[in-house]
Chains A and B, each alone.
Chain A
């Protein structure tokens, strides 16, 4: 009964709900993107969710990292996210990884995940996700915020007759200087903006788990949250780019 309102959708049904229950998702980052995304993936009954984050909750995070409470301040984000989500859904498996994804922790990506969700704010981490997911043949759902614009895209999902798209196909790292972070602590952000991006990520993650593919596979959605101007760009895989 718990998932009745989504199960009655013709493209979900009991079989689709079973797919979500059997779904295994690794979320990289429990910040402004990760918090709202996790609330919805857990509520939808995604059966196994792991959360990787080495940061600690700061009081200035609370306006956008809506999973956390004032009592969360000072605690590791992954562990705290799992504690809170376990109270919200006791029927799913939640795992905390209290470390950032890096070259030394990259094995966390190799646990038979169905989807990786990129909720990081570090570009070096994003390139690492890209490299590893390309090697593992895994789809990953990207989102990021800059100013009042969000971008969301799905990489690594095979389309008929096309190579799976990689992030480096669109943004070759050797083509110029890439700033490591567009930090919310320096540039500022309205808390809702990463939330909007995260819910699109959550929807695409659910679509992929349901076996429905993704409308954002090999596409990048850019949405301005002040003007609501939307721009969707088709992306192309680049076979000459090395892994």
Chain B
């Protein structure tokens, strides 16, 4: 499944867009992201699915468009 990463998160995962094996829920997604990119575990970021910020309970499928959104701070 396609994952978009914004801000400093695209540096942490190596690209603004990555592909990972499909997972079934946002909770599983967090677990998988932490396994692949351990540095993400300490980061604050929201997860949006199909352009809506969601909680960990939401189910995912292969067509879900996932975005990782950290708080930006520069001004």
Could you tell me which A residues sit within 8 Å of B by CB distance?
29, 31-34, 119-123, 126, 143-147, 149-151, 167, 170-173, 175-184, 187, 189, 194, 220, 222, 231-236
Q: A145-B74, A231-B51 provided; 19 other pairs, C-beta below 8 A? A: A32-B75, A126-B73, A144-B74, A144-B75, A146-B73, A146-B74, A149-B6, A149-B72, A151-B72, A172-B44, A176-B42, A179-B8, A182-B7, A184-B74, A194-B74, A231-B6, A233-B48, A234-B51, A234-B52
CB distance from A163 to the nearest CB of B (A): 14
B7 lies within 8 A of A233 (CB): no
A232 lies within 8 A of B51 (CB): yes
Report how far A125 CA is from B7 CA in the complex, Å: 20
Could you tell me which B residues sit within 8 Å of A by CB distance?
4, 6-8, 41-46, 48, 51-53, 67, 69-75
B44 lies within 8 A of A33 (CB): no
Report how far A177 CA is from B71 CA in the complex, Å: 11
Q: Which residues of B contact A29 (CB under 8 A)?
A: 75
B6 lies within 8 A of A222 (CB): yes
A147 lies within 8 A of B7 (CB): yes
CB distance from A189 to the nearest CB of B (A): 6
The 9 closest A-B pairs by CB, nearest first: A144-B72, A121-B75, A145-B74, A146-B72, A176-B44, A146-B7, A182-B74, A182-B73, A33-B75
Q: Which one of A167, A171, A194 contacts B75 once the chains associate, using CB atoms below 8 Å?
A: A194
Measured CB to CB, the nearest residue on chain A to B8 is: A146
Report how far A156 CA is from B41 CA in the complex, Å: 29
Report how far A143 CA is from B72 CA in the complex, Å: 8
Report how far A34 CA is from B69 CA in the complex, Å: 24
Measured CB to CB, the nearest residue on chain B to A220 is: B69
Q: List 15 A-B contacts (CB under 8 A).
A: A29-B75, A32-B75, A121-B73, A144-B71, A144-B73, A147-B7, A149-B7, A151-B6, A167-B71, A175-B44, A178-B71, A182-B7, A182-B8, A231-B6, A234-B52
